[in-house]
Amino acid sequence: MDEQEKINIILNTQKVIAVVGLSPKPLRASNSVSAYLKNQGYRIIPVYPREEYILGEKVYRALTDIKEKVDTVVIFRRSEEVLPVVEEAIKIKPFAIWMQQEIINDEAAFLAEKNGILVIMDRCMYVEHARFVRAHD
């Protein structure tokens, strides 16, 4: 399956998204991308070390604290901080892990794929969703 096919499957079928590094600051990419996705009908679950609520959603400190099934883990962390996030994500068995634009970690991607998880790296979910919607209009 090529990357565009993976992206289309994720955007079309995976509706519960845990966002690691979702900032409470509206001008941060993590916040604006998550707000956009929420407005498009996705369920957003913030994972952040502080705050009680972001975008009106309860904040969790860790992926493993989330009680509901997570379809996709979106990562807004520096590339060198991704591996521990992926190691934790594997424990909750998401369908996909999405590393936002400019986030690349081959070791983490290999580990996730070895555990049967689809991986997208260095792509903005907002941009890809907007392209997906335009392609299906």
As a whole-number percent, the residues of the chain with pLDDT over 90 amount to 94
**Is 49:22 a contact under the CB 8 Å cutoff?**
no
| pLDDT confidence of residue 133 | 78
Q: Does residue 137 register a pLDDT over 90?
A: no
The whole-number average pLDDT for the span 70-75 is 98
Strands, sheet with 118-120, edge to edge from the N-terminal-most edge strand? 43-47, 16-20, 72-75, 96-99, 118-120
| pLDDT confidence of residue 8 | 94
All residues at 6 or more sequence positions from 90 whose CB lies less than 8 Å from its CB, including other chains: 111, 112, 115, 117
| Whether the model pTM is above 0.85 | yes
The whole-number average pLDDT for the span 24-37 is 97
| pLDDT confidence of residue 132 | 80
CATH of the domain at 82: 3.40.50.720
The domain containing residue 97 runs over which residues? 3-135
Distance of CA 83 to the CA centre of its chain: 14
pLDDT in tens, 76-92: 999 999 999 999 999 99
| pLDDT confidence of residue 1 | 84
Distance of CA 129 to the CA centre of its chain: 13
| pLDDT confidence of residue 36 | 97
Number of domain units in the chain: 1
Q: With H, G, I as helix, E, B as strand and everything else as coil, classify residue 42.
A: coil
